[in-house]
Structure 1
Amino acid sequence: MSSASLSATEPDGGKNSSSRVIFASFIGTAIEFYDFYVYATAAALVIGPVFFPHDSPAAQALSAFVTFGIAFVARPIGSFLFGHFGDRIGRKSTLVASLLVMGLSTTLIGFVPGYDSIGSLAPVLLCILRFGQGIGLGGEWGGAALLATEYAPPGKRGWFGMFPQLGPSIGFLASNGLFFGLAVSLSDEQFRSWGWRVPFIVSAVLVALGLYVRLKIAETPAFRAAVERDERVRVPIATLFGQYLMPTLLGALAMVVCYTLFYISTVFSLSYGVSTLHFAREKFLGLLCFAVIFMAIATPISARASDRFGRRPVLIVGCLAAILSGFAMESLLGSGNTYAVALFLTLELFLMGVTFAPMGALLPELFPTSVRYTGAGVAYNLGGILGASVAPYIAQLLANRGGLAWVGGYVSVAAGVSLVAVLCMRETRDVKLS
């Protein structure tokens, strides 16, 4: 694509207002993470009984968590695929495509019959569509972060990069809030029969909104400049692994703490709270909705701090606090006391916001324009394999065999891994993106 043809296809002469860029980067990630978390919540509540005919609730939970992890295997594949086109063709069109893939996969999950209706074909179809969710989300985050940071004015990349990071908080709040409303208004039989499908089908409406917004945005200045200077590479993934392997690995390891904090405190804790601590489903969902508000509060605070003090200092403090938080898991979550459980969930999700916010700027800053979409996406999603894909599964095994103290130790180890990665990184706050 030539620079002339590129500019000719852009609305508003290729210019965007800051508010349009911020909203486009935020709304897409919010919708994509809504789709992703809808499945996570369903996996903790109903996927096991509906799709896996085990007699043991623990076996059903483990099977559901295996399907949950499939998407994290798919996410790096999505980042390879969409990253290639994002670095070759442009950020805008690639973001539109990733949103379509995610939305279609999520909506179709809402129509897959259960095991009682079509037998073993049910979990097969479920796994295929879950894989599709992973492909779509794998291409989403890197492009949304680039859309925000490549438009950011000097000294405000952390702040602009924060808006895609708000997407998970809002997406989670929307998905859990909808499940909460269904849990309150429906009987257990109604919820298991058809109610759990509603949040998946609602995704179609949200995706249509996201597509409308993203079709209105223009290509980023950094990518247009790369086109004009003929700086694009033929195979971005080959250049990435050939020349930028270490930043990719360090970025992936730095992400581990974010994923582990989030999925242990949401997916595993929800399953454990309902099945072992015997919380009512709607009550625990309400606690999570309350706690995730503090994740959203921490996100802009951490982003501002990363612009002022640097990405590394903020992440170092967040990782150290996350290491310590693992030691509180048994006494708080294991107590079964509503207030102690709420405190644990709030603490973990607040630290998730602290460690997650700087990543919107940090990961794009690790790579040049020619491989930035691919690099940021691959690092982000490789971190997902390490920190999230197996986290609920491992946590369930640890809880069964050693109790919550072992699960808390798992959280601390994951945070320690990210701390080492951050200490090995260079500070990127003042790096130029073009």
Structure 2
Amino acid sequence: MDALQVGATPLSDEDARRQLRRAVIASTIGTTIEWYDFFLYSTVTGLVFAKLYFPESDPVVGTLQAFLIYAVGFLARPVGAAIFGHYGDRIGRKATLIVTLLLMGLATFAVAFVPTYATIGIWGAVALTVLRFIQGVGVGGEWGGSVLMSMEWTRTNAHRGFVASWPQFGVPAGLFLANLAVLAMSQISGSGFLTWGWRVPFFLSIVLVAIGLYIRFNILETPIFARLVAERRIEKTPMLEVLRRQPKDILLSAFARMAEQAPFYIFTAFVFTYGVSTLGVTRDLLLTAVLAASVLEFFTIPFFGHLSDLIGRRRMYMIGAAVVGVFGFLYFAMVGSRDPLWIFVAIVLSLVPHSMMYGPQAALIAESFTGRLRYSGASMGYQLASVIAGGPAPLIATALFAYYHSGYAIAGYILGCAVLSLIAASRLGDYTNKDISREYDDRPSTGNSGHATPAAR
């Protein structure tokens, strides 16, 4: 109904600006809540789950087992992208985003009540695995809709990178809230943290979900989707269609994320196990450092999104990929000193190269896909990286350190990811400041690739 109303009655400039503000706020708050849920699990995995759900395993093996459950959420994300990408291109961005928020929030809330190994044995780990899979499905459908909800309300091409970066802001905001909640409960519960303290942040997530739902119910569908409805251009099977028309863009989007996603989860998830077990620092120091890093990203993500509007999306992204490839060695040199100050500085700085890619990334990927297939294509390209980058990263880092006993082996892995991203990003199209409101294949001369010719652009 929203889509039909917007399509039938064009909004005034003032109403359009008001809807843009609402869409950006709704997308940013929604992604903040969803990433709070996802990162809360990531943070607690390194601190709690190996001890409570795999107590009879060797410490290294227990950590690997805990990170395997953690990785299940990443394997589920392309499933969520396929399911919700389909419905996002069929019934609209708004309705789909409401469902993903509910799915993610209820799964996170349920984690608070999962019994430990001491109570029900291995079934506790099984329950965590199922809930982690549901989390992954929810977040797999969330990203594409949030980005499109903001980006497709933008009437000027000149600021699309900046506007699309605000849903990305949900990552550091969610990371901040998750680590703040764990840090607060760590200090409040003290020795009871492993018993009950870690459960409270999961329980409180239900409050955030209620807030997010209220906000999302009060936004309109995007003008681009409204026009697709009015013109009867909705695809029956958008996911299959985008796989047929733009498979290259999906794969390039996934590999372009290697340098952004794999190091991010090493710097924000693996660091807890590495810091406590190997470096001998306190969990509170690590939590505080990650908090500070996430606060810094509040500013750097929109800044680099804006900078991409000025110098080009692809160029900005490739600079970030090159920087993270070098920074990995500097990072492990600083944390390897075992000096708490240098460890703190390394963790805070680690998310700056991430911002250089993550700021422009939303627009870079979403702009690559034609409008009626954009939710499906952008979601699948973005979430496939979870299988090859984000999910395996802590596992690979743990295994590399166990074998080589050196952080520089992990830095070499980060460098390899950076090289792959540079190659993939260099082959992605750059639509900075170009019109994306029309379908890329409106004209016969575009062929089967789904991209418009320069004349059509």
TM-score where L is the length of structure 2: 0.91
Q: Which residue type is aligned with residue 62 of structure 1? A: L
Whole-Å Cα distance in 1 between the matches of residues 26 and 231 of structure 2?
27
CA-CA distance at 1:6 after TM superposition = 7.8
SS in 1 for 2:154: coil
Given that 2:117 and 2:125 are in contact with CA atoms closer than 8 Å, whether structure 1 keeps it comes out as yes
Matches within 5 A, 1:123-202: 123-154=125-156, 155-188=158-191, 190-202=192-204
Check the 8 A contact 1:261/1:351 in 2, yes or no.
no
TM-score (norm 1): 0.96
2-structure distance, mates of 1:2, 1:105: 29
AA aligned to 2:186 is A
Change (3 A) 1:5 1:291: closer
The offset of 1:281, in angstroms, is 1.2
The amino acid of 2:185's aligned partner reads L
Q: Give the C-alpha shift of residue 416 in structure 1.
A: 1.2
Alignment of 1:8-87 (within 5 A): 16-87=18-89
2:244 paired residue among 233, 236, 242: 242
5+ residue gaps, structure 1, are none
After the TM superposition, which of the residue ranges 154-163 and 325-334 deviates more from structure 2? 325-334
CA distance in 2, matches of 1:390, 1:355: 20
> Does residue 1:418 correspond to 2:421, yes or no?
yes
1:283 to 278, 282, 285: 285
The RMSD of aligned alpha carbons is 2.0
Aligned pair partner of 1:432 in 410, 431, 435 = 435
The answer to whether the Cα contact below 8 Å between 1:65 and 1:393 also exists between their aligned partners in 2 is yes
Equivalents in 1 of 2:201, 2:60: separation in Å? Answer: 25
In 1, the alpha carbon distance for the partners of 2:55 and 2:286 equals 25
Q: What letter matches 1:406 in structure 2?
A: A
Q: Which deviates further from its counterpart, 280-289 or 204-213?
A: 280-289
2:198 counterpart SS class:
helix
Q: Is the 8 A contact 2:7 2:227 kept in 1?
A: no
Residue in 1 aligned with 2:445?
none
Q: Deviations over 1:18-37 (max 9, x none)?
A: 32111001001000000000
Give 1:431 shift.
3.2
Q: Contact conserved, 2:328 with 2:415, CA < 8 A, in 1?
A: yes
Q: Which moved more, 1:53-62 or 1:199-208?
A: 53-62
Partner of 1:96: 98
Structure 1 partner of 2:334: 332
Amino acid at match of 1:81: I
Summarize the alignment of residues 402-413 of structure 1 with structure 2, pairs less than 5 Å apart. Answer: 402=404, 403-413=406-416
Q: Which whole-Å deviations, capped at 9, do the CAs of 1:77-100 have from their partners, x for residues lacking one?
A: 001000100000000000000000
Deviations 1:283-334 (A, max 9, x none): 2111111122222221121011101111011111111111111221331111
Q: How does 1:187-336 map to 2 (within 5 A)?
A: 187-188=190-191, 190-336=192-338
Residue 55 of structure 1 and its aligned partner are, at CA, apart by: 3.8
Q: Which runs of 4+ in 1 moved over 4 A?
A: 1-8
Q: Name the aligned partner's letter for residue 71 of structure 1.
A: G
**How far does residue 2 in structure 1 lie from its aligned partner after superposition?**
10
Number of residue pairs the alignment of both structures matches: 433
1:298 touches 1:351 (CA, 8 Å); kept in 2?
no
Distance 1:433 1:335 in 2: 49
Partner Cα separation in structure 2 for residue 113 and residue 61 of structure 1: 19
Deviation, structure 1 residue 5: 7.2
Q: Is the 8 A contact 1:146 1:364 kept in 2?
A: yes
Output the CA distance in 1 between the equivalents of 2:21 and 2:236. 33
What CA deviation, in whole Å up to 9, does each residue of 1:54-81 have, x standing for no partner?
Answer: 3422111111100110000000000100
How far apart are the structure 1 equivalents of 2:57 and 2:436? 55
Stretches of structure 2 that go unaligned for 5 or more consecutive residues are 438-457
